[in-house]
Amino acid sequence: MKRYAPVQGVLALCILMSLFGLPFLRFAPNRLLTGEGLSWWQAPLGPGHWACVLPLGWLLSARWPGNRFARGADMLVAVLWLLLLPWLAGTTARQWVPDADSLARVSLGAGFWLSWGLAALLLSERLREAGWPLWRRGLIWGATILLLVGEGLVGALDDLSLLREYGNHQDAFELAFGQHIRLVVFSVLPAVVLGALLGMAAARHNRLQGPLFAVLNLIQTLPSIALFGLLLAPLAWLGERLPASGIAGIGMAPALLALMLYSLLPITRGTLAGLQQVPAAAVDAARGMGMSPRQILWRVELPLALPVFLAGVRITAVQAVGLAVVAALIGAGGFGTIMFQGLSGSALDLVLLGVIPVVAMAIAVDLLFKLISAGVARHD
């Protein structure tokens, strides 16, 4: 019988250490300067300082590794921590830069990010241990994120540099959001259709597999910038020929095409792997009982290949969310635009304004497909 949960203890210690050892916030006279770090104690948190006793609870509960109540309390504390920390940061920022027009900035420091991120890790670890179904875990995360968004909506976080950047770039943000989703959906969707067809063809004709995967692997190894470059000339030519189509060497068309090409390999491979792991005996029995080839495909092969296929689509969609960032380089928009703008201006919080939604979107897509897979697999 284990007497102590080591991972949990270490996580709690790290949270405490990062809280006290690293700057919690940063204060800078303007957005381009790095500024000076403010420790937990320097920040005028007021009674909020006492929030630092919360991690002691995790340290304590690590004594009872398997205990349900300890686990529940830990989850509660973690959710509180995830909500409280930004709140405290927000109220502090308000005291330091009370004037909305001021150039001075308060941004989140390493101490904040680390202790917040580790707490998120601790929560996910505890949720995983509980062995709860995916939807319930998703619900807890969803509620936490909604409450966090709520904090932002009531204005509690408005004076943080990140939200300042959001306020200044709101239109660009909304535009980027729409573009990013469009980039992902309209590249993954055709890739799913085409990849599924290619995978089915490869499963039928073994000889097709060699050349097909040679080509797809080659595409996958091309750096995205190089692929954009390769697509530039033919698409520009096509655009000149068909001006009405809106196709051009840069912009949405090459980005969608490149993202679709990248998505093709994992989806084709997932389809083929899914079909190959269908038990040969099941197909033989289906044939022997008088199912037509079409019935075998729809009733036996595809349903049995579905879980592996969906896993392929999930990986592809998550990958596309990340890859779509690069599409900004050829003027296709998306969150990459905000990121690159921040990078070129050395404005870290602007970079974060581009990165955070991409990470959140990747996690959301991952969760969505896991939920779908769980729903599909529920029968056994």
Applying CB under 8 A, the residues found at the interface with another protein are 279, 281-292, 295, 299-300, 303-304, 379-380
Question: What is the C-alpha to C-alpha distance for residues 244 and 356, in angstroms, rounded to an integer?
Answer: 37
CB 370 within 8 A of CB 134: yes
To the nearest whole angstrom, how small is the minimum distance from the Cβ of residue 134 to another protein? Answer: 20
* Between 121 and 283, CB nearer to another protein: 283
- Residue pointed to by tokens 């998505």: 263
Enter the tokens of residue 198.
């290619």
CB of 288 to another protein, least distance (A): 4
> Left if phi > 0, otherwise alpha if psi is -120 to 50, otherwise beta: which for 331?
left
Locate all alpha helices (DSSP H) within 277-347, ordered by sequence.
280-288, 293-295, 302-323, 335-344
* Closest to another protein by CB, 141 or 309: 309
The distance of closest approach from Cβ of residue 292 to another protein in the complex, given in angstroms and rounded to an integer, is 5
Instruction: Select 118 or 300, whichever has its Cβ closest to another protein.
Output: 300
Can you tell me which residue has the tokens 């197909």? 283
- Contact at 8 Å (CB) between 57 and 51? no
What minimum distance in Å lies between the beta carbon of 293 and another protein? 9
Specify the residue, 36 or 284, whose C-beta has the smaller distance to another protein: 284
Rg of the chain over CA atoms, in angstroms? 25
The CB-of-313 to another protein minimum distance in angstroms stands at 19
Instruction: Identify whether the C-beta of residue 366 lies closer than 8 Å to the C-beta of residue 141.
Output: no
- In the complex, least distance from residue 209 CB atom to another protein, rounded to whole angstroms: 20
Nearer to another protein, 82 or 286 (CB): 286
241 vs 294, which CB is nearer to another protein?
Answer: 294
Task: Give the three-class secondary structure for 49.
Answer: helix
Q: How far is the CB of 174 from another protein (least distance, A)?
A: 43
Closer to another protein by Cβ: residue 171 or 380: 380
With 0-12 / 13-18 / 19 or more C-beta atoms within 10 angstroms meaning exposed / middle / buried, residue 323 is buried
